[in-house]
Structure 1
Amino acid sequence: MPLRVFIREPTREDCQELLSLRQRSKEFHFPWGFPSVNKQDCENYINRCQNENFQGLLICHFSNNEIIGVANLSQIFYGAFQNAYLSYYIDVNFAGQGLMSEGIRLAINYAFYTLGLHRVEANIQPENKKSINLVKRLGFTKEGFSRRYLKINEEWRDHERWALTVEDWV
C-alpha cells in the first residue's frame, strides 16, 4: 500500500497552518495535551527545531501537502544513551484514518536511520487509550509507570513509559 503521508521539517511559513490545526484540534486533544495557539509560541517552536537536541517533523498529506500532524523528537541524547522522547498530535479532521500511524512510522525511521538513535520513548497518560493503541501497533513495549510525571493543565499527571529500540523495529 503506498504511503499517504510524508514528513518534513517545519519552517516559519508553516506557522499559520500549524496554528489553525492546533486551534481546531484543541478540544480533541483535551485533556492529554495543550498545544499552544499563538504566533509567538509557534515561532518559538520553529526556533526550538534548530536545536541539536530537538527535531520537529511535520506529517503532511501527499495529495495536497497539507499538514495533518506533528511528531517531535525531544531531549535527543547521543553517546552511550542514543535516545529521544517522542510526542505527537494529529489534526482532528484526519483522526481515525491510520494517517498518524504512517507518519509516526516515518518519524521512527528518521530517529533510527537518519539520527542514528538506538531508542525512542513515548510517555502517555494511562487514560489516553488511542495514543497507547498507536504505540502498541508500532511495536513499542510498556516499560513502566511514572507517577505525577508531567504537569499538564496545572496538574501533575501519571504517565506510562513506552519504548522501542532499533533492534525491535520492523
Structure 2
Amino acid sequence: MSLRVFIRRPTAEDYQGLLSLHQRSQDFHFPWVFPPLNEQECKDYINRCQNEDFEGLLICHSTNNKIIGVANLSQIFYRAFQNAYLGYYVDVNFAGQGFMSEGVRLAIDYAFYTLGLHRVEANIQPENTASINLVKRLRFTKEGFSQRYLKINGEWRDHERWALTFEDWV
C-alpha cells in the first residue's frame, strides 16, 4: 500500500509553508491547537526541533511535497521511561480525508523504531472527538482523565490521557 504522505524534519526554509498552513487553519484548530502564527514564532518552532527532547515532524503530501500537517514528539525521555508526548494537527484543506491517520502512524513508527521509545502519550481535550477517534484507530488505550491539565488560550483545560506502547504497536 503506497502512502499519500511522508514525514520529514523541518528545515529553516519551511517557515513560510508552516506559517501559511497555521494562518489558513487557525479557525479550524481553535480551541484545540495554537500553532505559531507569525514568522518569528515559526522560525522559533523550527529551531526548537533541534533540541534533544523535541522532534517536530512535518507531514507532507507525497504528490507535491507540500506540508499538510505536523506531528510533534515533545518532552522526550530516555533511560527507564523512554516516553514522548504526541501532538498533531492538519491543514484545514486536508482534514477528514485520512491524511493524519497516515502521518501520525509514520510519526509513531519514527518514535518507536528510530528514536527507540517504548511509549507515546497523547493528551486530548474530551470535546475533541476527531482527535480521540484518530488515537482510537491507532490502537491507543485511554488511561485516564486529567482535570485542568493544560493551560490553553488562557484557560486550564481538562484532558483525556491516551497512550500506546511498543508492544501494542508491533
TM category, shorter: over 0.9
Deviations 1:127-159 (A, max 9, x none): 000000000000000000000000001000000
Contact 2:59–2:103 (8 Å) recurs in 1: yes
Partner of 1:102: 102
Name the stretch that deviates more: 30-39 or 82-91: 30-39
Question: What CA distance in whole angstroms lies between the structure 1 residues aligned with 2:129 and 2:60?
Answer: 24
1:143 maps to amino acid: E
In the other structure, the counterpart of 2:152 is 152
Identity %: 81
Moved over 2 A (4+): none
Q: CA deviation at 1:2?
A: 1.2
Matched, 1:76 2:72: no
Unaligned runs of 5+ in 2: none
What's the offset of the Cα at 1:16? Answer: 0.4
| C-alpha separation in 2, matches of 1:60 and 1:134 | 18
- Secondary structure at 1:150 match in 2: strand
**TM (normalized to structure 1)?**
0.99
Q: Give the superposed CA RMSD.
A: 0.6
| Whole-angstrom distance in 2 between the partners of 1:143 and 1:14 | 35
Please, what TM-score do these two structures have when normalized by structure 2? Answer: 0.99
Distance across 2 between alignment mates of 1:52 and 1:31: 29
1:79 alignment partner, SS class: coil
Instruction: For structure 1, list consecutive stretches of 5 or more residues without a partner in the other structure.
Output: none
Look up the equivalent residue of 2:133 and give its one-letter code: N
Q: Distance in 1 between matches of 2:80 and 2:124?
A: 25
Q: Structure 2: which amino acid aligns with 1:135?
A: V
Amino acid at match of 2:114: T
The answer to whether the Cα contact below 8 Å between 2:36 and 2:45 also exists between their aligned partners in 1 is: no
1:106 Cα shift?
A: 0.2
Point out the more displaced range, 134-143 or 32-41. Answer: 32-41
SS of 1:25 mapped into structure 2: helix
Structure 2 partner of 1:168: 168
Partner of 1:12: 12
Which residue matches 2:37? 37
How do 1:113-132 and structure 2 match up within 5 A?
113-132=113-132
Q: Distance in 2 between matches of 1:82 and 1:32?
A: 26
Equivalence for 1:47: 47
Which residue of structure 2 aligns with residue 92 of structure 1? 92
CA distance in structure 1 between the partners assigned to 2:85 and 2:31 by the alignment? 20
Q: Secondary structure at the match of 1:162?
A: strand
Task: After TM superposition, give the deviation of residue 78 of structure 1 in Å.
Answer: 0.2
